[in-house]
Amino acid sequence: MSTLTTSREWLALQAHREDIQTVHLRRLFADDPARAERFSIEAAGVFLDYSKNRVTAATMEALMALARARGLEEARDEMFSGAPVNITEHRAVLHRALRARSDETILVGGENVVPGVRNVLEQMRRFTDQVRGGSWKGYRGQPISDIVNIGIGGSDLGPQMVCEALRPIGHPRLSMHFVSNVDGAQLADVLNRVNPETTLFVVVSKTFTTQETLRNATSARSWFLDNGGGQEDIARHFVAVSTDARRVAGFGIDPDHMFGFWDWVGGRYSLWSAVGLSIALYIGMPAFAALLDGAREMDEHFAAAPLEQNMPVILGMLGVWYRQFFNAGSHCIAPYAHRLNRFPAYLQQLDMESNGKSVTRDGRPVSGATGPVIWGEVGTNGQHAFFQLLHQGTDVVPVDFIAPLKADHALDDHQLLLLANCLAQSEALMRGKTADEVRAELSATGMAGDELEELVPHKVFPGNRPSNTLLLPNLSPHSLGALIALYEHKVFVQGVIWNINSFDQWGVELGKRLAVDIVAELRCDGLGHHDASTRALIERVRVSLKG
């Protein structure tokens, strides 16, 4: 593939960037009364207003020309067909098969994977019905009251985020707990709150080799055995989700109580598979199916809509625009829904682990910047913390405002206040406040002269700061499924433009490897080859552990 930054389409965008440099969004709105309508789109129940971006029709045209020239349509079709597009791991990338219709055929190595997906969903349905209905009993004959999901990264962030988001439809008898960190404080706190007689541990690990998860699962099993449970009761209190039945059996979990998935499901794309077992336990299989339906609708939109009217493509290309041509090193996610408080963390992994790469698919250094830092916090909390920098800081930080329109509680007025704040923030970022407007405002309070003039520069907002607004009808399984799939595909779009492999994660390997060495060194007196700083730190930790 040709070098990105010397391509004709790239150079055209670069030149266009010069044209748009001095144009203020206020001006663009004033000049085009149809702007909001022109730059809005709806798909799978998600409404996107992207009119508060520093773009014109010409910008969007040039961005789509770049997308075409980079082979986006072909790359999407290739991924959807089951080809091994994860080239460094020789794997297909088929999270979309996890939400496919039962009569679809999706081939991997000549085999249709859809029947296997459906079988696991059926296994999940039987199990979740038993637990939720109370016929799956703990070792003293009581129904399950607490579910502890033990997993990390992709085996934690998605299930946790979704359970939190959909709490109002969670089973009233079930309390959900998530343990990921090898810091025992997290597990200890959960174990202090639950009763071994009524707790179900769901151990989730694609590889079943992850240090943190195996340590936590082993400690949970010891706690269970030390607190009344017997060896013969483990089968009723521990189930596993993994691709590796042999290791699951080796750990002591009955393979009959294992829920499988496949190597073509990447960890951060796996909540739709059996990795979502905790979600299904909490919200029930019909709601889990609605989550899959929402994602499938977004898949269908992504697969079929022309690029110009394709929501993941639009979001992805806007991200490329700011990353490359405005040097925007970060992107803020601001959900105006408290139940989405884990969504920024979830997207952080999805985006940064996928597109935090600096070599192309053919192993050469990339020619420009790739994935931005993803961060964020729910509104309105963020407004009282970091929004100052968004409004008046020196960097351009694009923001995604995400808001469900309907609340799932009956507290009067809260939803109106929440949504008003969401709309006000995007308007303020876009409009800003000029020196003249500040002067008029201050004069109206009676201020004048030097006192007024000294204050003016501090109260000026440059505006022209870009944002997207995403509105969902409500926070239902369907709209959440569509929203998550939207971001999955957005990340894919950007990976194609940058010609990187969005589906591997070699960058997490080195630290893991070194940790294994240091664990061994902390356990004995030997010391491997380290720099002086690490050696001294190891010695210090060793002394403390012995003390």
Q: Identify the CA nearest to 122 among candidates 108, 142, 136, 102.
A: 102
Q: What are the strands, taking DSSP E only, across 194-329?
A: 199-204, 238-242, 258-260
Contacts 24+ apart (CB under 8 A), 76-80: 76/302, 76/303, 76/492, 76/496, 77/303, 79/492, 80/299, 80/303
CA angle 40, 41, 44 (to 5 degrees): 150
Contact 379, 428 (CB under 8 A): no
**Paired sense of beta strands 46-49 and 467-472, if any:** antiparallel
Smallest distance, ligand G6Q to C-beta of residue 351, A:
12
The token pair at 80 is 């959807």
Q: Is 311 strand, coil or helix?
A: helix
Smallest distance, ligand G6Q to C-beta of residue 504, A:
9
Residue 117 burial (10 A CB sphere; 0-12, 13-18, 19+): buried
Give the separation between CA 121 and CA 115, rounded to whole angstroms.
10
CA-based torsion, 362, 363, 367, 368: positive or negative: positive
In terms of CB distance, is 163 or 311 closer to ligand G6Q? Answer: 163
Smallest distance, ligand G6Q to C-beta of residue 204, A:
6
In Å, the largest CA–CA distance within the chain is 84
Give the separation between CA 366 and CA 500, rounded to whole angstroms.
8
Give catalytic residue positions.
Answer: 353, 384, 512
In terms of CB distance, is 70 or 268 closer to ligand G6Q? Answer: 268
Q: Is 448 strand, coil or helix?
A: coil
CA angle 116, 211, 222 (to 5 degrees): 95
Q: Identify the CA nearest to 205 among candidates 145, 250, 151.
A: 151
Smallest distance, ligand G6Q to C-beta of residue 154, A:
3
Smallest distance, ligand G6Q to C-beta of residue 210, A:
3
**Residues within the interface to ligand G6Q (CB under 6 A):** 152-155, 205-207, 210, 213, 266-268, 353, 505
Smallest distance, ligand G6Q to C-beta of residue 340, A:
20
In terms of CB distance, is 213 or 499 closer to ligand G6Q? Answer: 213
- Residue 260 CB neighbour total at 10 angstroms: 18
Give the separation between CA 372 and CA 356, rounded to whole angstroms.
8
Q: Is 103 strand, coil or helix?
A: coil
